[in-house]
Structure 1
Amino acid sequence: MLAKRIMLAPRPIELLRSTNTRSFTTSRRPLSPLNFRSNRIPINVSRTSTSATRLQYNPQRPWQDIWRKGQQRDYRRQAFNYQRYQTSKGLLLRWASSPTFYYQVAGLSGVAATVYVYNLETVDVSGRRRFNIISPDMEKSMAEGQSEQVLQQYGPMVMSERSKEHRQVQRVLRRLMPHSGLEGEQWEVHVIDSDEKNAFVIPGGKVFVFRGILDICQGDDGLAAVLGHEIAHNVAHHAAERMSRMSILTATAVLADALIGVDFGLVRLVNHLVFDLPGSRKEEEEADYIGLLMMADSCYNPEAAMGVWQRMEVYEKSMGGAPPQFLSTHPSSHARLEKIRDWLPKAQQKLEDGNCGTTGMYAQGFGSTMQDFARWG
């Protein structure tokens, strides 16, 4: 009987090979260019995503991968391949047995460190150090065609340039531009007639604002906070930074898969949770900071940013709450409020130091009005 039982017992390898494939999905929004928490935000671009997008949890978003590619990924755990693991292990052992193994490892490490250090740069406004191998021209070329895809999706819903919503966005954008450092861009504004709370700016100056976010903004000052955040993603070239980061994470996953047989999807999942998502949240925080100073330089009340995120927090709760922050590409609305509160004194000082007195404000408003009259006759 004992011998019979032993013969009937499945071998460990067979058990492992029979494991059912399971899918693991991490998703921060159920978005990142005016990433007001929406899957619909193009990911390769500004990574702009005002956090408002993270409030949108409809899984049926048709363009969730247009811009913020990678905001929602599927990772599938494959059944353990023991033979593949043994093959990879053998390759690693043969390499390790080479008499020049340590020299090769040292050489490769030196090359990798040199490339990394050589491509470190400092973000002008925030002073943050980051790795970036994508030039501004390459970033812009990679973003070409994204706006056309968005327009194909929402073309019939784009509001007239004569609409009050379009004029409001154009008016606020015009005041922000001189303080963005991006005056040379060919700016285009598209307001989409949708209740979605979302907005984003694609590198190259393509601005998309959904009508629903205007209810959250409640005026030009609130809209300046939203647009300032989204423009800041372009100012800091977050899309290029994101692509640079993904190149490192992908290379790490490929090496781990080839040398030690660790499943590629599993390594990508770990990289996504440990490096990509925290990096995305850091970029969103930086865009909040740059956008706050930009709106203050443009003579908009920076305290309006507090109101925007307070209303976003209320809206977020009405939609069922936010996902856990460690699974999100954006900080929570509450966390953003706390940060903005810390930055307000500096922003208010900029407001006071600028030409933002009553006369200056009237002059700016009059200039914008006259430009509108000249535009529409």
Structure 2
Amino acid sequence: MLLLGLRQRALVSVQQHRIAHGFKQQTRNFYNNNYNRNYRRFGSRGDTEPVWRRRSFWYFSGITGVCTTVYYRTHLEESPTGRRRFIAVSPEYERMAGQSAYAQIMSEYRHRIVPQNTQTDRYVRRVAMRIIQASKLEGDWEVHVIDSPEKNAFVLPGGKIFVFSGLLPLTENEDGLATVLAHEIAHQYARHSAEKLSAARVMGLLYTLVAIFVDPNAAQAGRAVTTLLLDLPNSRECEQEADQIGLQLMAVACYDPAQAIQLWQRMQNSERMAPPQLLNTHPSTQSRIENIRSWIPSAEMKREAANCPNTDITNSFFSQLGFQ
């Protein structure tokens, strides 16, 4: 009886499915016969005229272009080096983005963070705090050393510093480490994160409009062209600016700017294969060395103006402040 009941219910279910399918087919036929012949997709007239031949498209494009130009020009700012750039996000939004990234990084590396007050942690913290004091940047600064062979360091918006232990042998001394940390802190000093977030917001909107009103494939092609012609050059420009500002910061913090050249020479010797500068987010190491060499006289003047004592007295002074 149970088996028979299941079969009956199955037959009823099949019949209901067929009825529903038939109703859907009738509805579809009715729609095609009565409405489809009068329906026109956006971007075509009678399935023959492209969207860019429509007058309304050019009205829309013109209004959008004018509004975009006005918005862009009213959000131009000068960087610390005098470079004009577009920034359309607030410092609060920038810090929120930094907090989100900070939570992700701490979740990924929480078991590899070097404990505080160890020798390595005190060493990195001492150098970082001297650079921070020189920059006069406010924020909830935190310094973390990650036990990893990676040769890397970065600073998140809001003041979260991460240094991978694999970088320390390459820096060799405090001046070398100061070169790296001053460069990373200079990114925050110049608000390069806000610059990149602003560009990503505008270009994301542009890609969406192109995908909707023109062609998704055109949006993909435009993304590739934008990366090559705008994103990568802008990234290299920001890196060069961070080199210049960082050299000034390490000089004001009473580190030796000339040591930056030696650090980048060691970096160059440790490189295996680097992509062409045109396809890279960073300038070539050789061009960085040449730029830094041209900026050293100005950085030396900053160091002299800071009335920096000799190295032993400087380290003793910061040790008394607890930056050990």
TM over 0.5: yes
Deviation string 1:192-227 (CA, Å, 9 cap, x unpaired) is: 111110011111111110111111111100111000
Partner of 2:259: 304
Partner of 1:266 in structure 2?
A: 221
| Change beyond 3 A, Cα 1:237–1:88 | farther
Instruction: Answer yes or no: is 1:365 the counterpart of 2:315.
Output: yes
1:343 pairs with 2:299: no
Task: Answer yes or no: is 1:108 the counterpart of 2:68.
Answer: no
Deviation, 1:372, is 3.4
CA contact (8 A) 2:85 2:195 kept: yes
For the aligned residues, what is the CA RMSD? 2.3
Distance 1:88 1:266 in 2: 24
Aligned to 1:208: 162
CA contact (8 A) 1:85 1:262 kept: no
Q: Show CA shifts across 1:130-161 (max 9, x none).
A: 00101111100122132222122112211122
The aligned runs of 1:57-206 (5 Å cut-off) are: 90-94=50-54, 96=55, 98=56, 105-123=61-79, 125-182=80-137, 184-206=138-160
Deviation per CA, 1:257-287, whole angstroms, max 9, x where unpaired? 3343261222111111111111111111111
Residues in 1 aligned to 2:269 and 2:289: alpha-carbon distance in whole angstroms: 12
2:305 aligns with one of 353, 357, 373: 353
Q: Which runs of 5+ in 1 are unaligned?
A: 1-82
Question: Contact conserved, 1:88 with 1:259, CA < 8 A, in 2?
Answer: no
Q: Which amino acid aligns with 2:73?
A: V
1:250 lines up with 2:219 in the alignment: no
Tell me, in whole angstroms, the C-alpha distance in 1 between the residues paired with 2:313 and 2:159.
26
Superposed displacement of residue 234, structure 1: 0.7
For 1:105 and 1:323, how far apart are their aligned partners in 2? 38
What TM-score comes out, normalization by structure 1 length? 0.69
Q: Which has the higher helix share?
A: 2
Unaligned runs of 5+ in 2: 1-40
Residues 246 and 276 in structure 1, CA contact (< 8 A), matched pair in contact too: no
Comparing 107-116 with 271-280, greater Cα deviation is found at 107-116
Per the normalisation by structure 2, the TM-score is 0.80
Q: Residue 89 of structure 1 contacts residue 260 of structure 1 at CA under 8 Å; is this kept in 2?
A: no
* Greater length-normalized contact order (CA 8 Å, ≥ 6 residues apart): 1
Q: In the TM superposition, what is the alpha-carbon distance from 1:290 to its structure 2 partner?
A: 0.6
Native 8 Å contact 2:254 2:314 kept in 1: no
Q: 2:271 pairs with 316, 323, 341, which one?
A: 316
CA–CA distance in 1 between the matches of 2:89 and 2:103? Answer: 22
Q: CA 1:105 to 1:372, structure 2 compared with 1: closer, same or farther past 3 Å? A: closer
**CA–CA distance in 2 between the matches of 1:174 and 1:119?**
32
The sequence identity of aligned pairs, in percent, is: 40
Q: For 1:254 and 1:110, locate their aligned partners in 2 and report how far apart those are by CA, in whole Å.
A: 18
* Aligned equivalent of 2:250, options 295, 313, 320: 295
Distance 1:158 1:166 in 2: 10
Q: What CA distance in whole angstroms lies between the structure 1 residues aligned with 2:172 and 2:105?
A: 25
Q: Which of structures 1 and 2 has the bigger CA Rg?
A: 2
Once residues 313 and 88 of structure 1 are traced to their aligned partners in structure 2, the CA distance between those partners, rounded to angstroms, is 58
Equivalent pairs counted in the alignment come to 281
Distance 1:142 1:156 in 2: 23
